[in-house]
A and B are shown apart, each in its own frame.
Chain A
C-alpha cells in the first residue's frame, strides 16, 4: 500500500525567508510525486510533480521540490516566502507499478507573516 506523511500540521515563516514543507512517502514501486495547494474555500491546484529525471523539480509560483530517494522524501521549498503563499499544502503519491490512484497526505498549513 502507498502512503504519504506530512509531519507538520503547520509551518510558520516570515515573509522573505525561505520555506520548507516536508513530505515523506512509501510505495512499492517507483514513486510519482505531486504537490498541490489549496486556498480557502477553493479546490486543490496543482503545483509540481516528480516523475523521473532531475531530483530538483520546479513548479508554479516559484515553488520547487527536492526528491530524495534514499530518504523517501519530497520536500517543497521556496527561496523567499510571500504572504500570499499562505495556504494548505498537500503532498500526494502514486505507485509506479500498474494503475494506481493518488494518495494524499493530511496537509500542512503554511502561514507567512508580514
Chain B
C-alpha cells in the first residue's frame, strides 16, 4: 500500500519554464490537496479537490493550475515558473470532505526555480 505518491522528488527549473507535479493515491480517497511548505510559514493550501470532478482555490493559487484527472490522480501545473515558487510541494488526500477525516501526505517535491 503506497499511500500518496508524488513525482518527481526533486526538480530544478529555469524562470519561465513550465512543469507538472504528479500525485496519485491508492487509498480510494475522495478529496485531494496541494500544499506548499516554506520556512517559517508552515503549509499553505494552493488548490484542493473535494471530490472527483471538482477543484477549488486555496490560500495561494496564483501561478498554479490543477487537474483532477480521475479519483486517484491530482496534478499541479506551473505554467511559467518564478523564483517565488521555489518551495517544497506536498500532495495530500483524505477520505472525504467531512471534518473529522485526517489527511495523508506524500513525500514531497523539492522545487527550485533559478
Residues of A within 8 A of B (CB): 9, 32, 34, 36, 41-46, 49, 51, 90, 94-96, 99-107
Contacts and interface: CB of A to CB of B under 8 A. Distances in A.
B53 interface: no
A45 B4 CA distance: 12
B105 interface: yes
Given A43-B107, A43-B108, A101-B58, A32 B45 contact: no
Interface of B: 4, 33, 35, 40-45, 48, 50, 58, 90, 92, 97, 99-100, 102-108
27 contacts: A32-B100, A34-B102, A36-B105, A41-B108, A42-B108, A43-B4, A43-B107, A44-B92, A44-B105, A45-B105, A46-B103, A46-B104, A49-B102, A51-B99, A51-B100, A90-B42, A94-B99, A99-B50, A99-B99, A100-B99, A101-B48, A102-B103, A104-B42, A104-B44, A105-B42, A106-B42, A107-B42
Nearest to A49: B102
A96 B40 CA distance: 27
Residue in A46, A96, A101 whose Cβ sees the most chain B Cβ within 10 Å: A101
Pairs A-B, 6 closest by C-beta atoms: A43-B105, A106-B42, A104-B43, A44-B105, A51-B100, A32-B99
Contacts of A95: 99
